[in-house]
Amino acid sequence: MTTLVSYNVNGLRSAISKNLLDWLGREQFDIVCLQETKARPEDIPLLEIEALGYRHYWHSAEKKGYSGVGTLCKREPDSVVVGCGIEKYDREGRFLRTDFGDWSVLNCYFPSGTTGEERQAFKMDFLDDFSRWVTELKKERPRLIIVGDYNIAHTELDIHDPKGNKKSSGFLPEERAWMTRWFGSGFTDAFRHKHPDLVEYSWWTFRAGARGNNKGWRIDYQSVTDNLADRITDARHLTDVVHSDHCPVWMEIDI
């Protein structure tokens, strides 16, 4: 069995100051995919991560203190691919691929559109480009696990107030339609595959005690190609783990 965790840490140095590494040391997951690291390798206590038994790989944004992803794994990958080859996304540090035998993990941090129309348009372009890129990647690597912060709540089950948020970035009709197409294009939502009707969230605003009242959104996903769906043992949200405004998304898969 392989245990895989995806976690938007909203600043890796901040999460480490809240004992992230102690938690990782206790849990000893096989693969840990971090998003929104907001750090470069020289800013990260790499020796402490290595002391936990992890190899580590990073894709940082050009802009300091922004975006970025990192993948920690117990087993050395056969290859590591940084970025997607599209400059406007790669300069923001949004993709990291690790290959293990005939399967791959793609660690992704999708853009947010909450800061205005320009970034919302950038996000929609990203979704179209991402779909095309993955379609091509699947020809080369047909067994994919694509995890990360997608910044979209797919259905009304995935958000605490669907009516109040119907015009909010992250729950817009066109974003939700993209998710529906995505999960109809050869990918399975690991959590929904195992728990079709369970309400769990992965992100809560820091405002108004949202987390304590469980007024959240499910915007962090683990998508697997359909040929891996029957290998998923379970998938859940580790909602009691608090190093960030997100929680880790956990999956166990027999691969």
> Which residues form the catalytic set?
149
Residue listed under structure tokens 């992250």: 170
Question: CB of 10 within 8 A of CB of 36?
Answer: yes
How would you label 19-34 residue by residue, b for 16+ Cβ within 10 Å and e otherwise?
ebbebbeeeebbbbbb
Instruction: Compute the distance between CA of residue 180 and CA of residue 182 in angstroms, rounded to an integer.
Output: 5
Question: CB of 71 within 8 A of CB of 120?
Answer: no
- In the chain, % helix, strand, coil (3-state, to 5) comes to 30, 25, 40
Indicate the Cα dihedral angle 105, 52, 63, 82, nearest 10°: -30
Alpha-helix residue ranges (DSSP H) falling in 73-226: 87-90, 117-140, 173-182, 190-194
Number of CB atoms found within 10 A of residue 237's CB: 21
Instruction: Compute the distance between CA of residue 222 and CA of residue 209 in angstroms, rounded to an integer.
Output: 27
